[in-house]
Amino acid sequence: MSPTFRSLQVRNYRVYATGSLISNIGTWMQTTAQAWLVLALTGSGTALGLTVALQLLPTLLLSPLGGVLADRFSKRTVLRVMQVMMAVPAAVLGVLAVTGVVATWHVFVLAFVFGIGRALEAPARQSFVPEMVGRENLGNAVALNSASLNSGRLIGPAVAGVLIAAMGGGVEGTGWVILVNAASYGASFIALNMLDPARLTPSTVIASGPGAIRDGLRYVRSRPDLVLVLWCVFFVGGFGMNFQITSALMATEEFGMGAREYGVLGSVLAVGSLAGALLAARRTRPRLRFVVVSGFAFSVVQVASGLMPTYFSYMAVLPLVGLSILTMATTANAMIQLTSTPVMRGRVAALYVMVFIGSVPFVAPLVGWVAEALGARTSLVGTGVLAGLGIAIVTTWYVRQTEGETDHLRREAAALRSTYARRTHLRGRPGDRGRLRLPQRLREHRALGSRDDRDPTTVG
């Protein structure tokens, strides 16, 4: 089997990935249909931005709680419960749209309820992968998860656009598409039930008690490399994951296109996203510099997309946008899973989800408002510039932070060598009891330097 797909040799992961792919296709079908439903009901970019914000707001508020659930209970059980919790609001919204009684406030409320299930499910989904494939295949499996998500993004919007157009492009057509998504969660639920528990390697479950979220935050603060990764994820996620708003308005207002052409844009973006995930799957170890470079690349191509003069030139740039976003996101996710201590993995994964997806509610209403007031092009160019600026600032902070730490450790080493030399001069050849032991932190730093080429967190 090709190294790109080596994790599929694991039976449990193969079953899990199959169910996830079906569910991902359904999710992206609903994402497309829901955006079109809001535009059909209101014609407002601001309303569309508010819908996206309400659906993603629980990710910002509840992801840390989801991380605690993932570390405290069986991740498989959490995932099964959340499949049901996400299917119910999708089914209700679909029925309301099909029957023609749906109102804008229905979409707002059900998008928020759906977002609660998604926020609580995501940390368990991210941290469940190591229990199926082990550390040796973890980076590959994380990348294939992203490939599955973007295969859904490739297929889902195109299918949704065709179905909505075939049903007249109205509210009822969006309802049937949303009902398909509600049914797709059954595939994921069945796949989770089919896993062989004997072949899983569950992480240690943390004890009940207060302070679990605070412990996770303290752990991340102690790791400058994780802080840099999460900030890069924040800027790219917040300014790049607004495709439902920007492409919907580019298709309709800038280029005068309809539902079918909007769905095609989603699929074209997914081509690049899928390529980025598969590119990351071939890499044996993720590196911090790859996260940073991919973030800057996103900034450049996002600005370029806003400057494209025609529908087809805009469509031609979208694969590069998807490639840069998913290369950064997949590499960042793999770094977090590989370098975090297992007992903290669920909570760190929750922070990753919170800043990647939960950052969108901060930005989505602003993006929708700017696109509506000044045009979708201005919105794309502005978000690209801000993302690049933010990544530049946080990378500068990281470099100074690590340089300062290295200088401090060098001074410690020099002082210890001086003290050791004086003791040797006064006592002659020291025995084992007279030897000075280097501090644990300094010994770890020296060991890290000796294997710098293999360290996934090396930035330069």
| 377-396 tens-digit pLDDT | 888 898 899 999 999 999 99
What the block records as the tokens of 352 is 């990753």
Name which of 355-364, 371-380, 382-391 the model is least confident about: 355-364
Length of the chain: 460
Sequence-separated (6 or more) residues with CB below 8 Å from residue 428: none
- Return d(Cα 132, Cα 249) in angstroms, integer: 41
Counting Cα atoms < 13 Å in the Cβ hemisphere of 1 gives 9
- Return d(Cα 249, Cα 245) in angstroms, integer: 6
Sequence-separated (6 or more) residues with CB below 8 Å from residue 265: 157, 247, 250, 251, 314, 315, 318
Top pLDDT among 179 and 354 is at 179
Angle between the 345-356 and 212-221 helix axes, to the nearest 10 degrees?
80
CB 266 within 8 A of CB 319: no
**Is the pLDDT confidence value at 20 over 80?**
yes
- Return d(Cα 337, Cα 192) in angstroms, integer: 21
- Return d(Cα 415, Cα 340) in angstroms, integer: 32
CB 45 within 8 A of CB 249: yes
CB 324 within 8 A of CB 297: yes
CA-to-CA dists, residue 122 to 64, 381, 438, angstroms? 10, 30, 42
Q: What is the pTM of this model?
A: 0.68
What the block records as the tokens of 55 is 């659906």
Sign of CA dihedral 37, 41, 47, 51: negative
**Is the pLDDT confidence value at 107 over 90?**
yes
| 223-270 tens-digit pLDDT | 888 999 999 999 988 887 777 678 878 888 888 887 778 778 877 887
